[in-house]
Amino acid sequence: MSKSNNPLNDPSKLSPATQLVHGGTERTPFGETSEALFLNSGYSYPSSEHAEKLFKGEVSGHNYSRFANPTLDMFQDRMALLEGAEAARSFATGMAAVTNAVMSQVRAGDHIVASRALFGGCRFVVEDFMPRWGVASTLVDGRDPENFARAMQPNTKVVFIETPTNPTLELVDIAAVAEIAHAHGAKLIVDNVFATSLYQKPLQLGADLVTYSATKHIDGQGRVLGGVVLGSKELITGDVHTFLRQTGATLSPFNAWLLLKGLETLPLRVKQMTESAARIADALADHPKIARVVYPHHKSHPQYDLAKRQMSAGSTLVALEVVGGREAAFKLSDSLAVILISNNLGDAKSLITHPGTTTHQRFTEEVRQESGIQPGLLRLSVGLEDSDDLIADLLYGLDQI
Ligand SMILES: *Cc1c(COP(=O)(O)O)cnc(C)c1O
């Protein structure tokens, strides 16, 4: 941006759509309009003395792309603007981001409390890996904040939640859980993939760290994997940066460049997908072959009031339970012409998945039941197709049951 006194030179004064086109951009002397792709691992220095100062932190600059790269800087700065966070670090995948956020905050002897309805990989990290390294974990039903309060122990250092949850779109009250975590001296980490940064602001509600799988809405076109962790300058440039720097689950600059381009169209895409998702929830809610539709901003959602308070829109995912269990769910999915069978989400293409036999198949039937994953449950990630086509596709599928 120009060097005039225009107050809009301050990117924090801009609306999200503008921030996502311009925010974080650092132009090289060539003046390229699009963001430059720095596909390099190392850097050369003008002198040995300069290298020494750089490593001592006495001069600023980049020294190795595992933790310092201008294309990554642009992506991180743009994400931080959107989130209203002081700082961000990017990661190779969403799971690398979550693992860093959690592990950078604990050591052997500590305890974690998490909501039990979590993305499969996140639940694995908390439930299986953490205890292997001496960090105990307790999983609770996240719908009632009291469950977190009851699970807190003197050594609880992290509370980890996801809201809305995968795949049943249950909600966790972020502000209430933040208060409980802080009263016990623990940090709250929120996985905000399903709501997106456009519709839910965990840091404003009291979270300490927010994580994203950038693979989902941020890329939004099924091309690359990526992850982001955001929070205060202290946490991000401290624990999170150190863990990233020394363990190395770094985002590729090429993927960062694609994700920067993804961010430019994020508000347009997510708004369109959200409008279609709300239309689909309305169109299917009273269908005789549908046992329940779950959509955060649909009046039938059991936590509708919280959804309205915490999320500014219902976002892009809809859960449907069809009458007739697994057989009916398979029949519906297998009859679709436009919507693809896939466990990914946040894509331009609409994707449907049967969690019970895919993402959640490793769990026992008992765990699935307590998580609301009935045999007839399908999760639909609504894409950019015309919503009339999507509704027609689903109604045709329902007719085949
Ligand atoms: C996809 C996803 C992840 C993991 O992200 P990857 O990029 O696949 O590693 C974590 N949490 C949620 C809620 C997700 O949807």
Is the beta carbon of 359 within 6 A of some atom in ligand 1? no
- Distance from Cα 119 to the centre of ligand 1, integer Å: 7
User: Phi, psi at residue 54, to the nearest 5°?
Assistant: -60, -45
Q: Is the CB of 213 under 6 A from ligand 1?
A: yes
- Is residue 108 helix, strand or coil? coil
pLDDT digits (tens, 9 = 90+) for 286-325: 999 999 999 999 999 999 999 999 999 999 999 999 999 9
Q: Is the Cβ–Cβ distance between 195 and 170 less than 8 Å?
A: no
CA distances from 233 to 48, 238, 243, 262, 276 (A): 30, 8, 15, 25, 37
The closest alpha carbon to 298, from 286, 336, 273, belongs to 286
pTM attached to this predicted model = 0.97
Is 191's C-beta closer than 6 angstroms to any atom of ligand 1? yes
Instruction: Quickly list DSSP for 318-365.
Output: EEEEETTHHHHHHHHHHT-SSSEE-S--S-SS-EEE-GGGTTTTTS-H
- What is the three-class DSSP state of 189? strand
Task: Domains for the chain: give ranges and CATH numbers.
Answer: 11-261 (3.40.640.10), 267-399 (3.90.1150.10)
**pLDDT tens digits, 116-173:** 999 999 999 999 999 999 999 999 999 999 999 999 999 999 999 999 999 999 999 9
Give the model confidence (pLDDT) of 43-68 as tens digits: 999 999 999 999 999 999 999 999 99
Nearest CA to ligand 1 atom 8: 94
Q: Per-residue pLDDT for 267 more than 60?
A: yes
Which residue, among 19, 77, 382, has the nearest Cα to 220 in the 3D structure? 382
CA of 289 to the centre of ligand 1 (A): 30
369: pLDDT strictly greater than 90: no
Determine the residue of 93, 98, 119, 345 to mutate for testing ligand 1's pocket, defined as the one with the most ligand atoms within 8 A of the Cβ atom.
119
Q: Which residues are within 8 A (CB) of 64 and not within 5 positions of it... i.e. 6 or more apart?
A: 41, 42, 43
Which atom of ligand 1 sits closest to the CA of residue 227?
A: 7
- Residue 367: pLDDT band with limits 50, 70, 90: confident
- pLDDT over 70 (residue 2): no
In this structure, the residue with its CA closest to atom 5 of ligand 1 is: 94
The pair of structure tokens assigned to 385 is 């197709």
Is residue 258 within 6 Å of ligand 1 at its C-beta? no
